[in-house]
Amino acid sequence: MVHDAVAVREKQLQVWDVSDDPRWRLTIYEPLYDGKIFANIGGPALLDYMGAYAGLGPEHSVLELGSGMGDACEYVASHFGSRVTGVEMSTQQIERARDRHRDSRSRGFDFVQADMLQWEPSQYYDAVYFGDMLAVAQDRRALLERIYRWLRPGGALTITDIVAGPDLSDEERAFIWAEDGFDVPSHADSLAMIRDVGFEEPDVTDITHTVVTLQETILQESYRHKTTIVDAVGADSWLEWLEGAREYRRLFAERKLVGLRIGTHRA
What does the pLDDT read at residue 263?
Answer: 98
* Dihedrals phi, psi of 20, to nearest 5 degrees: -110, 10
Specify the CATH number for the domain of residue 77.
3.40.50.150
pLDDT higher at 10 or 157: 157
Q: Where are the alpha helices (DSSP H) in 27-89?
A: 30-33, 43-54, 71-80
pLDDT mean over 20-37: 96
What is the total count of domains within the chain?
1
Alpha carbon distance 188, 16 (integer Å): 28
Q: What is the DSSP string of 195-210?
A: HHHTBPPPEEEE-HHH
Name the DSSP class of 62: E
What does the pLDDT read at residue 183?
Answer: 86
What percent of the chain is modeled with pLDDT above 70?
94
Structural domain span for residue 79: 5-265
User: Mean pLDDT across the chain, nearest whole number?
Assistant: 93
What does the pLDDT read at residue 64?
Answer: 98
CB crowding 175-197: b at 16 or more within 10 Å, else e: bbbebbbbbbbebeebbebbeeb
Give every CB contact of residue 170 below 8 A, 6+ residues apart in sequence.
1
